[in-house]
Structure formats: structure tokens, C-alpha cells
Amino acid sequence: MITWSVAAAQEAGAGQVVVVQGPERELDEVLGDGVAVAIQEQPRGTADAVRAAVPHLREAQVVVVMNGDHPLISAQTIQSLVEAHDRSGAAATIATAVLEDPTGYGRVIRGPDGTVERVVETKAEGDATGAQLHIREINTGLFAFDGPELLSALEEVGSDNAQGELYLPDVLPILRGHERTVQAHEATEAGTMLGINDRAQLAQVQAVAQRLINDRLMRAGVTIVDPQSAMIDVTVRIDADAVIAPFTSLQGASAVGSAATVGPLTTLIDCQVGAGAAVVHSYAQGAQIGERVSVGPFAYLRPGTVLCAGAKAGTFVEIKNSRIGPGSKVPHLSYIGDAEVGEGTNLGAATITANYDGTRKHRTKIGDRVKTSVDTTLVAPVSVGDDAVTAAGSVIGQDVPSGALAGSPGVARSQQRNIEGYAERRKEREEEGPEPPADERRRPADVNSGAP
């Protein structure tokens, strides 16, 4: 929530952003550089929170105060408020909204000349009268102040209210007492009003934010087949003509190139997807997926995976910290970890790189145009030269020269034995019924004679 508000303030052109936090909070790492932090030692209300930020405000000519739990306030709303404040020449300008049901919000009390006299809180009994509760114009919690006037008025704010707190709106009648005016500016964006106090409201705001993100992407040329099921972070970049299939989640610093297809049922975290690639029903984190790459279904790409242009990671394939060269394929049922795979190589089903010896990880190097047959295990550290081939069922623990056929003793298999007529004899046994217990299978004569 905080980073959304900070981003909006910075986009609106704020010269300095100050976040007020409690003593138990640690937001420095989240906020990053260029954002100051002020500590409010006790939760004594919104005016006290602004007081905590005063050391950062002494040189400011205009101070905008906004709630940290209203993350959908846009940069345009902030700019519009500041422009209205500059035009009015008022000591303060408050962003207001008119609601059909204003329950729970502070009501804006206007004077005969239309300027704002004060804001009456309604969250606690005793602050607002019955007549004031019928007012539908409410305080959004977004203010623009003349900097010096704000600092002066903060010194006079008291806590004579039902909650015993220092309310920031109480600055407004103080400014009027200084013979300065307070103006109202209507905020029209619905997101301005959406605050978060519990997990239910968090879900509501997130749903609105997701609709805004998806709408922006679709208007920029991205096809989102089912916007209601697509979860896309605001930090994700998607080029025009990409297709996002249903039930897809794109998170963090992910990027999707033009004409790529992602989904359905796919999660990408901090992944780069090249133009024309297809990632179907898969999970990937920290992977680089090149142009025209095919991934899935049911692939798992772990951090450090690089799939070069035209490569393939197919069904039930797991790849970790490995580079799969241009046009190379890992079609199905394989684990490739800590490996370098060259160009045009095909790794057969159940190819495994045994990269861990119980103490350390080791790398496997596989050259260009290599073909591993099914059920090949490569015990690292090991190298396989260009154009090499492995036989089915091989365990490769020694380097393979270029162009060689490699396999376990007997060329990957022990001596094969064929038993003729096995199926017919098995059928005859089944027709005879189940065999008697072992101690009843010996003939009486054999028992008496001691013969086996």
C-alpha cells in the first residue's frame, strides 16, 4: 500500500516524500532511496502524525497530506488538487467527494460563501450532530496546505473530541481563525475513496487495482482472454499483441514480448519471455525464456534458467541454473540442473543431470547436436562432446568425445535374454487356477523318498 502511494506522489512531481510510521515499523528497505521516514512515537491521531514530519517540511511552500492506506489515489488526482490549491490562493484545499452512503466518513461543513468551515468526524459518538450526519459531502483524507500556515496551525490543534486524538481536519477552523480561507476540490476518481482497514477491504482494493492494470494493458494492445482470472502486477511489462490466457499470474519484474502466449494456468515470477514464445500450464521463477521458445505443459523453471531462441522445455521438465542453447530440446520427463547445453541438442525422456554429490554442486557440459537416448543419467562433473549420442539406460560418468556413442557396460544394457513361449505358458497356469501353498506342492512320494 505504501509503495503505491509513494509512487503516485513521485509521479505527481513531489520534491520530497515523507512517510510517517510507528516506532515498531521498518519500512526503509521497502521505500528505497529518496523517501524520508518520520517516526510517530504514539498513535495520537492524524495531526500528530503530520507533526512528526515537521522537520522535513520547514522549507516546503506547499504540503500535500495523504493517507497511506488509500493506495489507489492517482498522480492525476494529486496534481489536480495542487493546481486547484494554487489557483485558489487558500491556506488549505481539501479533496472532497459526494457519496450516496457517507457512513463512517468525516462530513464537510461549508460556510455561507461556499468555503470550508470544518470537517466533523463521525467514527465516534459525540463528534457529529444528527443534522450533520445527513451531509453527503465527505473528507477524502487528501489535503493541500500552504506550508508555513500548516506548521503554525499544527501547534494549536487540541484533542477535545470523543476519541481524544489530534485530528488533522481540526487545522481547518484554526486557519480560518487566522483569517485565511479553506477551499474544497471535488475528487472524481473512485479509487480516492477506497481505504483499507481489514483483509476484506484489501481484497476489494486489489480487485479494483487489477481491473485498472488489465484495462490499461488491453487498451495498449495486449489480449487478456479472461480479465477476471488474470493476476498481473503493476510492475509487469507486456508488449502489444501478446496473449494472456485464463488463470495466469504474472508477478514482480516479469516481461512478456510481442506475440508471446502465456497460460492458461501459468505463474511467472521475475521472468523474461521473448517475442513469439509460448508458456503453457507451467511455473517459472527467475527464468529467461527466449524468442519462439516453447515451455510446458507442466514445466518447472527455477532461477538461473536460460532458454535460448527456439529452445523447448516440455512436459514434466524441471530446469535449474542451466542454459539451453538455441533450438535445443528437453521434451519431457527430465531434470536438468547446473548444465550448459549447446545448440540443436535433443535430450531424450528421463535425461537427468546428477549435479549434487552430497557436498557440492557440479556442472554438466553438453555440446551441439547431442542426442541422449531415454533414461540417460549424466553424473557431473562431466562433458559430452558435439554430435555425441548416448544409448538408452546409460549412466555417463566420464567425458564423451565428440561424435562418440556412449553407454554403460554392454552398451547401456546387460546381456538381453528372450524367453520363448512365455505368454502361452502363463496363460495355461492361469487357467489351472491358483497354485497351492508351497508346502503342498510336493508329491507324497517325493516327501517319503526325500526327493526334491
Q: How far is CA 159 from the centre of its chain?
A: 42
Q: How far is CA 177 from the centre of its chain?
A: 49
Catalytic site residue from 70, 85, 185, 332? 332
Q: What is the DSSP string of 5-38?
A: HHHHHHHTT-S-EEEEE-TT---HHHH-TTEEEE
**Cross-strand partners of 38:** 20
Are 245 and 228 in contact by the 8 Å Cβ rule? The answer is no
Cβ contacts of 32 within 8 Å, gap of 6 or more: none
Among candidates 317, 322, 348, which has minimal Cα distance to 333? 317
Our answer to whether residue 362 is catalytic in this structure is no
Quick one: CA torsion of 396, 402, 404, 408, rounded to 10 degrees?
-10
117, with CB counted inside 10 A (0-12, 13-18, 19+), is middle
Peptide bond just before 401 cis, omega within 30 deg: no
CA distance 341 to 305: 11
Phi/psi at 205 (5° precision): -65, -40
Q: How far is CA 25 from the centre of its chain?
A: 23
What is the number of residues in the chain? 452
- Positions marked active-site: 332
